[in-house]
């Protein structure tokens, strides 16, 4: 090869790290920048890459629609509301229980504190599902053991009313989360397919480079230029494209050829 600085295999060792947006843009730029003189194998890979980019954008559009149509109250909002009202109940009971035992209200608060919160409020730091089950069990105990009237008498009816108001909203939120794929999970597969299709395309381009024919270098360079420019825009720590495993948005690099 007349140009020892050009290594076509550097484009197929790793697939670029990307978000779904940057992946769609890179895929389409590669397709538009492909020299028309490329052989059918490369054109076929480019056509597949274009289809994958279109599918990824359709998935992104659907995700945006779902997010726009989602309830104004987010899972975090509901979780905070539940945490606050359960914590408030315990805090008030604990404060009242510190009064001298000569006060009947203090005695009742101490009893409720030990019966309703024997392990404190650590359950509020559990996962959404585990927290819901614990709260649901506590509410069932409060009702089945006749503690509701006692709670109302000691701290007033407002706290238990609010707990009963938040509880079905928490259940509905949890049900939605179990049924629906989260944004990261639903789009991660499209990122992986974009990476794989880009890798297939760059592999096809690399096969057109003949070490005994210098004229094959220029078309390959032209085809690879979008990747060169893309890499230049990445932070130095993310070049040449190895994802950070600690980053939850980091895509998964393909390790086997696409059977399709």
Dist CA 238 CA 172 (whole Å): 40
* Domain-embedded: residue 3: no
> Is 161 found in the same domain as 96?
yes
For residue 58, give the CATH number of its domain.
Answer: 1.20.120
> Is 160 found in the same domain as 117?
yes
> Is 61 found in the same domain as 106?
no
Closest CA to 47 of 34, 59, 57: 34
* Domain-embedded: residue 1: no
Q: Which of 161, 179, 197 corresponds to the end of one domain?
A: 179
Count up the domains in the chain and report the number.
Answer: 2
Q: Is the peptide bond before 240 cis (omega within 30 degrees of 0)?
A: yes
Segment 218-257, tens digit of pLDDT = 999 999 999 999 988 887 765 554 444 334 344 433 333 3
Closest CA to 19 of 217, 231, 194, 224: 194
Bigger pLDDT: 142 or 239? 142
Place of tokens 């945006």: 64
Please say if the pLDDT value at position 170 is more than 80: yes
> Is 158 found in the same domain as 93?
yes
Q: Which domain holds residue 204?
A: 8-68+183-238
The verdict on pTM exceeding 0.75 is no
> Is 129 found in the same domain as 94?
yes
| Assigned token pair, 258 | 């696409």
Q: What is the pLDDT of residue 240?
A: 52
Dist CA 199 CA 26 (whole Å): 12
* Domain-embedded: residue 63: yes
Segment 38-66, tens digit of pLDDT = 999 999 999 999 999 999 999 998 888 77
Please say if the pLDDT value at position 177 is more than 90: no
> Is 61 found in the same domain as 31?
yes
Helix residue spans in the chain (DSSP H): 20-33, 40-69, 75-97, 104-116, 128-144, 148-155, 158-179, 183-206, 217-233
């Amino acid at each position: 090869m007349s140009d020892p600085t050009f290594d076509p295999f550097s484009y197929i060792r790793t697939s670029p790290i990307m978000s779904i947006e940057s992946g769609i843009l890179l895929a389409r730029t590669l397709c538009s920048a492909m020299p028309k003189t490329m052989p059918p194998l490369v054109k076929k890979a480019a056509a597949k890459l274009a289809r994958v980019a279109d599918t990824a954008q359709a998935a992104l559009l659907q995700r945006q629609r779902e997010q726009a149509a989602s309830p104004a109250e987010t899972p975090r909002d509901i979780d905070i509301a539940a945490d606050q009202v359960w914590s408030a109940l315990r805090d008030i009971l604990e404060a009242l229980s510190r009064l001298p035992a000569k006060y009947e209200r203090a005695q009742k608060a101490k009893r409720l504190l030990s019966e309703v919160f024997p392990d404190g409020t650590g359950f509020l730091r559990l996962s959404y599902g585990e927290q819901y089950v614990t709260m649901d069990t506590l509410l069932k105990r409060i009702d089945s053991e006749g503690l509701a009237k006692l709670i109302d008498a000691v701290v007033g009816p407002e706290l238990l009313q609010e707990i009963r108001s938040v509880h079905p909203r928490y259940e509905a939120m949890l049900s939605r989360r179990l049924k629906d794929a989260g944004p990261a999970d639903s789009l991660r597969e499209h990122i992986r397919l974009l990476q794989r299709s880009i890798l297939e395309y760059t592999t096809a381009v690399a096969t057109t480079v003949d070490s005994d024919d210098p004229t094959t270098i220029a078309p390959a360079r032209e085809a690879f230029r979008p990747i060169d420019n893309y890499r230049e825009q990445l932070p130095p720590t993310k070049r040449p494209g190895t994802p950070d495993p600690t980053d939850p948005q980091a895509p998964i690099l393909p390790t086997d050829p696409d059977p399709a």
